[in-house]
């Protein structure tokens, strides 16, 4: 097959892929959106016409090559068209988070100097009008939903469908220009600019070229053999790189159909109706779905409950093996088949995951129980590791090599190296071009050879050859004996138990690890109610001997699993205590996004930390608390310090030698 | 007074037409109790007209007179330039007047969609047999009406509860479903009986926005009763104030706000 060394298959841009799709899959559905209670659909050839009309309309409004066009709204076909239409006229689309506050939006709009914006409705129009005085380059706004817009001044405000009409009317005049601009696009032209969420400092504009997006989409589609028959549900923010890759990159590369929900609240219904074959969700979504299933099962009749638990136990035993194609006994297979008929199939249907062939989760650690639950049902859920700067893909789990504690093998075309401090670096065709107007950050992130620092620490698992991410690189420390100390990894393991809400691990520069633990009031309270354990306050429940016993068993479970892991065996928790108050952002112990502030906590609870290391059995402490209205008070308690059994580490070493 | 046939344009650019409904010297008695005493006012096409007053002022009775539920002993109701004879509520509904209720009156066991569809009953003409077989005209009608209903569901942003039984919904959403059902009838006058009662601030804001949007998008004339003065003053073009069955004020929100009789009725006045 003759393939140009430059562009994959000779298609050097998304608009070029659009034209290929319109001729190759003309009548096949490209987009669907539920509106007025039914699924409206557009074929690839419809899509091409819609995008062309909009692109001509853009020219009619005076869009120049190199202009930035902001796209602000929830997942709707119109916005995806706006992105591709912008690319077609040589402009750069910049999708933004539609729920960001006006000031945040103002920063980004000013930073990229967008001249145009395509927005959803009155709400977004109002937001932009509010900030437009500060935006010197901003000129025209195009809205999709005309509701409530009649009274606005329409000099610089246009309805989406009118822009398209004007474009169609001016076809003769502009088609030549459009074709010329479209043909100019090559592998190195900018495909999109995406802003990374600003958890540290201001958001940065990541510039991704056609090469980045198309190469990443091509190799990842081949990795999972995605074809034109796939169905995806586009429901994650359009400003997020994942949605760009799934709903534009891979969709245009393979020609599959992107389905848009009716609105954010109907997502679960729409998921069931569409039954996607390729699905991505963050761990939180899977967690919520599982919780819902469990709660509804508790209300089910006796027989159904029995059936559910009986077959789920079987699924846990053999489900993952069957999914991975490993040999399983005939009777087990037969029983799994029966379970599929009675339980798994209907359950998957209810969840909307009945047709999922490839499913991914990423972003945070997913609890092994949750992960295994879905896999045991026969849903091919896998993990990937990626970031905006890499056009998503750094590592992916291959079919048949899926584990809950790894993130997979390097994606095709991606090279990975691990620095001495454990930080993961990568280099790939998907690696971003530069940060817009921020040379300094570009230099500190991407070196001259193209290696990009992820900021995460990890290592390759010996057994599977897959990458394991353990923590943010700056949080990883060393214990007194020089072994690696990775607090978040252990804390996540603890937090996978529903009874544990938060955990804080200590051990940097120390002989052994210890932990503070917060119980989850809902889960533990529920358990107390069922077991007739009375309690008057959080503090009393947290100090109840039976609760301590339960938590101790959880800690020991974690220790056992850590002991199997030569890299992290020394991070086992030797002693712990259950805190008398919930860690709270109001008290400065956590960030607003619920990440623990290690420094603040170890200072504030210095006495408790001391007690964990000086061998005492209990400690009396008084802590200041801030109420929601800003008043301050204090609570005091005597906390028990519990020794947890640790599994010997040496044994593993000896066995290895 | 403005001329009945001419309209005017509001500050925010909405066109208000001529008088579409006029109440002339209405008196309504229940035995010896006089609920409404000699009240006259008009409603213009395209306006939002509020009726306010303290508890027991006779507001709901007035609304019931408009909707044809009560027939007043004295006085005349003029609708679209003709005197309206005493009518049954369904006859009034046929004339294009729809309403919502203070205490929600939905079919609790039916889905939101089915409830809203009942608002289209006036537009369904197929016979019972045709409906049962669901062929030909009945099927066509259902599709047409469903389309109208879906637009209203979209307009009021209740897509996510389309198939949910009404009984399972929280109060604020039920109110919205009731509004949807009234709108489904494509009324020329919409009567809202305390649309914000029992709502929290956020729900009130939502509801106010929907009332304004309905008026703006469909040009529907709206007559509403409301307790919350803030809401009334923001929403309405003109306000009738009632107290003890009598009209004590009538005019724009500003005029009414400065009317001494209204201030006395709301704040109380020393009887000497």
DSSP per-residue codes, A451-484: -EEEEEEEEE-TTT--EEEEEEGGG-EE-TTS-E
Chain B residue with minimum CA distance to A36: B150
| Residue A308's pLDDT band (cuts 50, 70, 90) | very high
Q: Taking 50 as the threshold, does the pLDDT of residue A657 lie above it?
A: no
Distance of CA A99 to the CA centre of its chain: 17
- Residues A36, B150: C-beta atoms closer than 8 Å: yes
- For the segment B10-30, the average pLDDT, to the nearest whole number, is 87
- Residues A36, B154: C-beta atoms closer than 8 Å: yes
- Residues A37, B12: C-beta atoms closer than 8 Å: no
Residues in Cβ contact with A238 at an 8 Å cutoff, skipping those fewer than 6 apart? A71, A73, A74, A75, A79, A80, A95, A98, A244, A247
Q: Taking 90 as the threshold, does the pLDDT of residue A514 lie above it?
A: yes
Helix or strand or coil: residue A323? Answer: helix
From A36's Cα to the closest Cα of chain B, the distance in A is 5
Q: What would the two tokens of residue A139 be?
A: 């000129």
- Nearest 5°: the CA angle A322, A328, A332 is 95
Q: Taking 90 as the threshold, does the pLDDT of residue B183 lie above it?
A: yes
Percent of chain A exceeding pLDDT 70 equals: 96
Element (H, E) at A520: none
Check: CB of residue A350 under 8 Å from CB of residue A272. Answer: yes
Q: What is the pLDDT of residue A264?
A: 87
Nearest to B162 among A37, A147, A148 (CB): A37
- Residues A37, B159: C-beta atoms closer than 8 Å: yes
SS3 letters for chain B? CCCCCCCEECCCCCEECCEEEEEEEEEEEECCEEEEEEEEEEEECCCEEEEECCCCCCHHHHHHHHCCCCCCCEEEEEECCEEECCCCHHHHHHCCEEECCCCCCCCCCCEHHHHHHHCCHHHCCCCHHHHHHCCCHHHHHHHHHHHHHHHHHHHCCCHHHCCCEHHHCCHHHHHHHHHHHHHHCCCCEEEEECCCCCCCHHHHHHHHHHHHHHHHHHCCEEEEECCCHHHHHHHCCEEEEEECCEEEEEECHHHHHCCHHHHHHHHCCCCC
| Residue A335's pLDDT band (cuts 50, 70, 90) | very high
- For the segment B221-250, the average pLDDT, to the nearest whole number, is 89
With CA atoms as reference, report the closest residue to A390 among A173, A196, A221. Answer: A196
- CB count in 10 Å sphere of residue A237: 18
Residues in Cβ contact with A222 at an 8 Å cutoff, skipping those fewer than 6 apart? A412
Q: Does B170 touch chain A (CB under 8 A)?
A: no
- Residues A151, B13: C-beta atoms closer than 8 Å: yes
Q: Of A33, A35, A36, A262, which to mutate for an interface test with B (greatest number of B Cβ within 10 Å)?
A: A36
- Residues A37, B151: C-beta atoms closer than 8 Å: no
- Nearest 5°: the CA angle A495, A496, A501 is 35
Chain A residue with minimum CA distance to B150: A36
Question: Which positions in chain A touch B217 (Cβ < 8 Å)?
Answer: 147-148
Q: Taking 60 as the threshold, does the pLDDT of residue A652 lie above it?
A: no
Highest mean pLDDT among A84-93, A535-544, A587-596: A84-93
Q: Of B160, B170, B211, B217, which to mutate for an interface test with A (greatest number of A Cβ within 10 Å)?
A: B160
Q: Taking 50 as the threshold, does the pLDDT of residue A651 lie above it?
A: no
Element (H, E) at A94: strand A92-96
Chain A residue with minimum CA distance to B151: A36
- Residues B159, A150: C-beta atoms closer than 8 Å: no
Phi/psi region, residue A66 (left: phi>0; alpha: psi -120 to 50; beta: rest), is left
Q: What is the pLDDT of residue A650?
A: 54
Q: What is the pLDDT of residue A147?
A: 86
Q: What is the pLDDT of residue A471?
A: 84
| Chain B residues 94-133 with CB within 8 Å of chain A | 113
Q: Does B153 touch chain A (CB under 8 A)?
A: yes
Q: Does B157 touch chain A (CB under 8 A)?
A: yes
- CB count in 10 Å sphere of residue A292: 13
From B151's Cα to the closest Cα of chain A, the distance in A is 6
Question: Which of A36-40, B15-19, B205-209 shows the lowest per-residue confidence on average (mean pLDDT)?
Answer: B15-19
- Residue/partner pairs of A631-637 with CB below 8 Å, 24 or more apart: A635/A539, A635/A580, A635/A581, A637/A539, A637/A543, A637/A580
| Residue A167's pLDDT band (cuts 50, 70, 90) | very high
Mean pLDDT of chain B: 88
Q: What is the pLDDT of residue A492?
A: 86
Complex ipTM tops 0.90: no
B74-79/B82-84 β-pairing? antiparallel
Q: Taking 80 as the threshold, does the pLDDT of residue B2 lie above it?
A: no
Nearest to A262 among B12, B155, B159 (CB): B159
Q: Does B272 touch chain A (CB under 8 A)?
A: no
Check: CB of residue A406 under 8 Å from CB of residue A383. Answer: yes
With CA atoms as reference, report the closest residue to A264 among A237, A298, A239. Answer: A237
From B213's Cα to the closest Cα of chain A, the distance in A is 7
Nearest to A147 among B150, B159, B217 (CB): B217
From B164's Cα to the closest Cα of chain A, the distance in A is 12
- Residues B157, A263: C-beta atoms closer than 8 Å: yes
- State pLDDT tens for residues A169-192: 999 999 999 999 999 999 999 999
From B120's Cα to the closest Cα of chain A, the distance in A is 16
Q: What would the two tokens of residue A294 be?
A: 């469990």
- Residues A147, B155: C-beta atoms closer than 8 Å: yes
Q: What is the pLDDT of residue A199?
A: 53
Cα distance between residue A307 and residue A310, in whole Å: 5
Q: Of B15, B143, B159, which to mutate for an interface test with A (greatest number of A Cβ within 10 Å)?
A: B159
Question: Which positions in chain A touch B159 (Cβ < 8 Å)?
Answer: 37, 262-263, 265-266
- Looking up tokens 């997020």 gives A240
Q: Does B252 touch chain A (CB under 8 A)?
A: no
With CA atoms as reference, report the closest residue to A379 among A494, A293, A299, A267. Answer: A293
- Residues A148, B153: C-beta atoms closer than 8 Å: no
Q: Does B15 touch chain A (CB under 8 A)?
A: no
Mean pLDDT of chain A: 90
- CB count in 10 Å sphere of residue A28: 16
Question: Which positions in chain A touch B113 (Cβ < 8 Å)?
Answer: 37
- Residues A263, B216: C-beta atoms closer than 8 Å: no
- Looking up tokens 């203070």 gives B102
Q: Of B13, B154, B161, B218, which to mutate for an interface test with A (greatest number of A Cβ within 10 Å)?
A: B154
Check: CB of residue A519 under 8 Å from CB of residue A578. Answer: yes
- Residues B153, A37: C-beta atoms closer than 8 Å: yes
Q: Does B31 touch chain A (CB under 8 A)?
A: no
- Residues A35, B154: C-beta atoms closer than 8 Å: yes
Chain B residue with minimum CA distance to A264: B160
Q: Is the dihedral of CA A171, A174, A180, A185 positive or negative?
A: negative
SS3 letters for A290-308? HHHHHHHHHCCCHHHHHHH
Nearest to A263 among B151, B159, B163 (CB): B159
- State pLDDT tens for residues A552-583: 999 999 999 888 887 788 889 999 999 999 88
- Residues B159, A151: C-beta atoms closer than 8 Å: no
Question: Which positions in chain B touch A35 (Cβ < 8 Å)?
Answer: 154
- Residues B217, A37: C-beta atoms closer than 8 Å: no
- For the segment A625-652, the average pLDDT, to the nearest whole number, is 80
From B29's Cα to the closest Cα of chain A, the distance in A is 43
Cα distance between residue A229 and residue A245, in whole Å: 17
Q: What would the two tokens of residue A386 be?
A: 């990626």
- State pLDDT tens for residues B69-126: 899 999 999 998 889 888 888 888 888 999 998 888 899 999 999 999 999 988 877 7
- Nearest 5°: the CA angle A512, A515, A517 is 165
Q: Does B10 touch chain A (CB under 8 A)?
A: no
Chain B residue with minimum CA distance to A38: B150
Distance of CA B264 to the CA centre of its chain: 27
With CA atoms as reference, report the closest residue to A24 among A43, A1, A8. Answer: A43
Question: Which positions in chain B touch A123 (Cβ < 8 Å)?
Answer: none
Q: Does B13 touch chain A (CB under 8 A)?
A: yes
Q: Does B160 touch chain A (CB under 8 A)?
A: yes
| Residue A4's pLDDT band (cuts 50, 70, 90) | very low
Chain A residue with minimum CA distance to B216: A148
Highest mean pLDDT among A8-17, A76-85, B32-41, B118-127: A76-85
Question: Which positions in chain B touch A269 (Cβ < 8 Å)?
Answer: 160, 163
Q: What single DSSP character describes residue A342?
A: I
Q: What is the pLDDT of residue B94?
A: 87
């Amino acid at each position: 097959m003759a393939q140009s060394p430059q562009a994959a298959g000779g298609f050097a841009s998304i608009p070029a892929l659009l034209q290929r799709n319109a001729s190759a899959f003309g009548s096949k559905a490209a987009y669907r959106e539920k509106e007025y209670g039914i699924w409206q659909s557009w074929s690839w050839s419809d899509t091409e016409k819609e995008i062309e009309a909009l692109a001509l309309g853009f020219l009619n409004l005076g869009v120049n090559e190199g202009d930035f066009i902001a796209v602000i709204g929830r997942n709707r076909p119109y916005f995806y068209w706006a992105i591709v239409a912008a690319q077609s006229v040589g402009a750069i689309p910049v999708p933004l988070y539609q729920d960001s506050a006006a000031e945040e939006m103002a920063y980004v709009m000013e930073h990229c100097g967008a001249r145009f914006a395509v927005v959803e409705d009155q709400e977004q129009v109002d937001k932009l009008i509010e900030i437009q005085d500060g935006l010197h380059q901003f000129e025209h706004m195009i809205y999709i939903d005309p509701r409530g817009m009649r009274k606005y001044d329409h000099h610089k405000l246009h309805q989406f469908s009118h822009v398209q009409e004007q474009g169609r009317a001016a076809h003769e005049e502009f088609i030549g220009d459009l074709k010329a601009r479209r043909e100019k696009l090559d592998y190195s032209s900018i495909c999109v600019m995406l802003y990374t969420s600003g958890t540290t400092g201001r958001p940065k504009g990541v510039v991704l070229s056609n090469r980045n997006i198309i190469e990443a989409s091509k190799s990842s589609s081949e990795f999972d053999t995605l074809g034109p028959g796939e169905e995806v549900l586009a429901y994650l923010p359009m400003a997020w790189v994942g949605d760009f890759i799934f709903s534009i990159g891979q969709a245009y590369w393979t020609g599959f159909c992107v389905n848009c929900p009716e609105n954010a609240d109907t997502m679960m219904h729409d998921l069931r109706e569409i039954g996607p074959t390729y699905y991505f969700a963050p761990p939180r979504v899977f967690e919520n779905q599982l919780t819902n299933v469990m709660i509804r099962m508790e209300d089910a009749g006796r027989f159904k409950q029995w059936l559910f638990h009986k077959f789920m136990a079987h699924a846990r035993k053999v489900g993952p093996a069957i999914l991975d194609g490993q040999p399983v006994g005939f009777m087990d297979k037969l029983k799994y088949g029966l379970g599929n008929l009675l339980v798994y199939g209907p359950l998957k249907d209810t969840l909307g995951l009945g047709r999922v062939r490839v499913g991914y989760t990423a972003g945070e650690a997913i609890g092994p129980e949750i992960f295994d639950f879905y896999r045991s049902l026969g849903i091919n859920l896998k993990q990937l590791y990626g970031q905006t700067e890499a056009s998503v893909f750094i590592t992916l789990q291959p079919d048949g090599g899926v584990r809950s504690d790894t993130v997979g093998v390097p994606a095709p075309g991606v090279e990975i190296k691990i620095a001495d401090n454990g930080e993961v670096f990568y280099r790939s065709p998907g690696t971003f071009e530069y940060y817009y107007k921020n040379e300094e950050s570009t230099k500190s992130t991407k070196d001259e050879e193209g290696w990009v620092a992820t900021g995460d620490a990890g290592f390759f698992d010996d057994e599977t050859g897959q990458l394991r991410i353990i923590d943010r690189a700056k949080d990883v420390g060393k214990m007194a004996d020089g072994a690696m100390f990775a607090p978040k990894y252990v804390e996540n393991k603890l937090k996978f138990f529903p009874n544990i809400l938060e955990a804080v691990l200590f051990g940097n520069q120390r002989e052994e690890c210890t932990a503070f633990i917060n119980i989850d009031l809902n889960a533990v309270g529920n358990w107390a109610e069922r077991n007739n354990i009375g309690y008057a306050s959080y503090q009393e429940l947290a100090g109840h001997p039976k609760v301590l016993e339960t938590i101790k068993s959880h800690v020991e479970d974690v220790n056992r699993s850590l002991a199997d892991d030569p890299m992290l065996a020394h991070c086992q928790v030797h002693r712990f205590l259950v805190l008398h108050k919930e860690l709270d952002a109001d008290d400065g112990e956590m960030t607003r996004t619920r990440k623990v502030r290690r420094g603040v906590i170890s200072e504030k609870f210095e006495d408790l930390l001391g007690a964990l290391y000086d061998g005492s059995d209990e400690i009396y402490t008084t802590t200041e608390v801030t109420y929601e209205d800003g008043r301050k008070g204090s609570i005091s308690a005597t906390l028990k310090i519990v020794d947890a059994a640790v599994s010997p580490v040496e044994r593993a070493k000896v066995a290895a030698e | 007074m403005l001329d009945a046939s001419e309209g005017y344009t509001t500050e925010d650019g909405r066109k208000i037409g001529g008088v579409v409904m006029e109440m002339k010297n209405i008196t309504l008695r229940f035995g010896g109790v006089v609920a409404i005493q000699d009240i006259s006012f008009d409603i213009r096409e395209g306006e939002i007209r509020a009726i306010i007053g303290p508890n027991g002022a006779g507001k709901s009775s007035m609304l019931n007179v408009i909707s044809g539920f009560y027939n007043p002993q004295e006085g005349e109701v003029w609708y679209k330039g003709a005197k309206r004879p005493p009518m049954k509520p369904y006859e009034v509904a046929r004339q294009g007047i729809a309403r919502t209720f203070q205490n929600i009156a939905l079919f609790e066991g039916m889905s939101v969609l089915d409830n809203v569809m009942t608002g289209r009953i006036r537009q369904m003409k197929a016979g019972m047999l045709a409906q049962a077989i669901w062929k030909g005209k009945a099927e066509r009608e259902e599709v047409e009406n469903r389309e109208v209903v879906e637009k209203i569901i979209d307009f009021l942003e209740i897509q996510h509860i389309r198939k949910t039984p009404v009984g399972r919904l929280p109060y604020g959403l039920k109110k919205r479903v009731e509004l949807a059902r009234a709108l489904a009838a494509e009324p020329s006058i919409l009567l809202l009986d305390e649309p914000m009662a029992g709502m929290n601030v956020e729900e009130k804001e939502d509801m106010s926005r929907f009332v304004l949007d309905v008026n703006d998008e469909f040009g529907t004339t709206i007559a509403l009763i409301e307790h919350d003065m803030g809401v009334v003053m923001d929403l309405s073009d003109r306000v009738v104030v009632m107290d003890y069955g009598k009209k004590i004020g009538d005019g724009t929100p500003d005029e009414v706000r400065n009317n001494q009789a209204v201030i006395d009725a709301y704040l109380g006045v020393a009887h000497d």
